[in-house]
Amino acid sequence: MTDQRIGLYPGTFDPITNGHIDIIRRAVKLVDRLVIGVAINAGKGPLFSLEERVAMVERETAGLWGNGGPVIDVRPFDCLLMHFAERVGAQIIIRGLRAVSDFEYEFQMVGMNARLNPDVETVFLMAEARYQAIASRLVKEIAALGGDIAPFVPQKVAKMLVKRAGERRNG
């Protein structure tokens, strides 16, 4: 056992957005080590493969701090969130809250997860106002319709999105 405080931030990250990054910047202030859990979520029909999503999260978080930055560990997972939290030794689950629309779902999840493991607390963070409306789903829609996604995602992610959207359009 260590007394390290380990947080787990789970999501689909299809792809990682500036909203996710804002939450990550806040989360690392609360924990000694942050595990970012990238869910396989095949059911959601992700635009990017699991490997691509993990690589994008790794790249975008690696550059956020200079030397001596927080410890961030990006890991894929395909099991029950609470089992994954136990496996990585997390005492805290981090979730982002955007609008009232997120609340109902998160409220249920916290209730169910607390029954599965009452020792793990879920902590909700809100992004800075200008990032609050960003959702991966909407960014993908804008990219598919040829809109400008530069304000919503990191530059390299925007490039990949435009490329993937073009591939999808051309069959």
Name the residues that contact ligand ADP, by CB under 6 A. Answer: 11-13, 17, 19-20, 23, 95-96, 98, 102, 127, 131-132, 134-137
Distance of alpha carbon 143 from alpha carbon 148, whole angstroms: 7
Q: Is 115 an active-site residue?
A: no
Alpha helix stretches (DSSP H) within the chain? 18-27, 50-62, 81-88, 100-116, 136-144, 155-169
Q: What share of the chain is helix, strand, coil (3-state, %, to 5)?
A: 45, 20, 35
Which one, 43 or 66, has the nearer CB to ligand ADP?
Answer: 43
SS3 50: helix
The contacts of residue 90 (CB under 8 Å, 6+ apart) are 6, 7, 8, 35, 120
Please identify which of the residues 33, 53, 95, 136 carries the catalytic annotation. Answer: 136
The contacts of residue 97 (CB under 8 Å, 6+ apart) are 103, 106, 124, 125, 126
Which one, 7 or 96, has the nearer CB to ligand ADP?
Answer: 96
CB of 146 to ligand ADP, least distance (A): 21
Q: Is 140 an active-site residue?
A: no
CB of 100 to ligand ADP, least distance (A): 12
CB of 56 to ligand ADP, least distance (A): 11
Which one, 6 or 81, has the nearer CB to ligand ADP?
Answer: 81
Give the DSSP H or E segment for 38: strand 33-39
CB of 170 to ligand ADP, least distance (A): 25
Q: Using an 8 Å Cβ cutoff, are 8 and 93 in contact?
A: yes
Which one, 35 or 66, has the nearer CB to ligand ADP?
Answer: 35
Q: Is 83 an active-site residue?
A: no
Please identify which of the residues 26, 75, 98, 164 carries the catalytic annotation. Answer: 98
Q: Is 20 an active-site residue?
A: yes
* Residues annotated as part of the active site: 20, 44, 98, 136
